[in-house]
Chains A and B, each alone.
Chain A
């Protein structure tokens, strides 16, 4: 069913009773051309672009839980491309360009809102650093605006500009950045893939990747063995657990990151604002809730829930820039598992095992990458070559020394 203003009006006259289910619940076939492990944003996008760009339709996505149960439905929905390393900027900019046309392409409202992403700076040194980042972006044709204090005040007048410890001196703005509705992104890609013939197998867990003579032959799942010529691991926080069944050892550690939403208030925060003296980001959803988060909990974890020190730290950072929200009530908070790579950048590559591909290492930034990750992973699985914007995202870059370390913190995943 094509969604349009006419379908909405005609449904209104039919009492909304004529909407059709958006995807099927098929039985697994015995064999597929390709299997994607993980039905998060990236796995669904991979399947969608395999079908759309490369004509593969005899493929399936296997998801151990329900669609969108992982980080794709748990993140703080920030979309941007304000990176500074040459290996990252073209990739994330490709992603932002895909975001800009995504809803038309999917015929699905993902509530993509280019309301701007503003990174605050709090010292002269930090201003220079942000100017450098802005320049790096502009050298790749990505616009960035360095705002002074008064220009920031015009956008977000309610911040604590004269905070004794972290006064706000200005900010780096990417106006094209913003937020999107995370669940809708998963649903939109699922619908697009399903309508092109992709089987989405929910409640189907990949247990063991079967490799024979250095070549992948299929996946042992909770619903039996499924044969496949090619298999893509797109399991985000759980990547290590499934990759190790094929004998892969990865430069990844899993950590829990928490996120928070407050009660709904009247429109206050017009864009995404990040605190430069710590690590805190906040925006306001269309329902009015303030959506925010900070750093991950600093220990490895596969439990999608965090601890109280992380909550305290987040709230303290909120108070450092926005004391005006101190009496807003917190509605909910939750956690998600993050695949933190050793240099803080992602991996989309072959694995050394014939027919086995991997897409992982998304750290805090995988939501914004969803379209490009799917696009490039599909390209890799279909053609056996890296997409031109993803040539730096190699698995062996840790051996060759070509790491992409935006934060410059070295091989310590919880610091990225």
Chain B
């Protein structure tokens, strides 16, 4: 499997480490149902069969966090972008 890093280009997946589902938002600790929200945030995942967005770290490369679009049924990788808008801006 090869991962397209927006900074380094197409690289072997061994250079990256995988964190998991992208787009999880840290809940507001003062919300009335904060406990339930934190439970979901820490433990509950979509675990989608199909195209997903997930966080990968280019650990043995530019060390950017990137969001990779990948199909969990086929391992096909269809895109990537920097996870942080600041990195995106700095890379331009």
Contacts and interface: CB of A to CB of B under 8 A. Distances in A.
Contacts, number: 65
Interface in B32-77: 35-36, 39-40, 42-47, 49, 52, 54, 70, 72-75
A82 interface: no
Contact of B45 (A252, A303, A309): A252
Interface in A211-269: 238, 240-241, 249-254
A324 interface: no
**B20, B42, B43, B72 interface centre (most CB from chain A within 10 Å):** B43
Size class of the B contact interface (CB-based, 8 Å): 20 to 34
Given A249-B40, A253-B20, A299-B54, A307 B47 contact: no
Nearest to A397: B43
Interface residues on A, range: 20 to 34
A62 B74 CA distance: 25
A358 to B, nearest CB: 14
A240 B18 contact: no
A300 B20 CA distance: 8
Contact of B17 (A249, A298, A411): A298
B47 A250 contact: yes
A254 B72 contact: yes
A307 B1 contact: yes
Contacts of A309: 12-14
Contacts of A241: 49
B17 A300 contact: no
A302 interface: yes
A317 to B, nearest CB: 15
Most buried by A among B72, B73, B74: B72
A301 B47 contact: no
Given A299-B70, A301-B72, A303-B72, A253 B47 contact: yes
Interface in A264-307: 298-303, 307
B52 A251 contact: no
A151 B50 CA distance: 50
Interface of B: 1, 12-14, 17-20, 35-36, 39-40, 42-47, 49, 52, 54, 70, 72-75
The 6 A-B pairs with the shortest beta carbon distances in the complex, nearest first, are: A240-B47, A251-B43, A398-B43, A299-B18, A302-B49, A309-B14
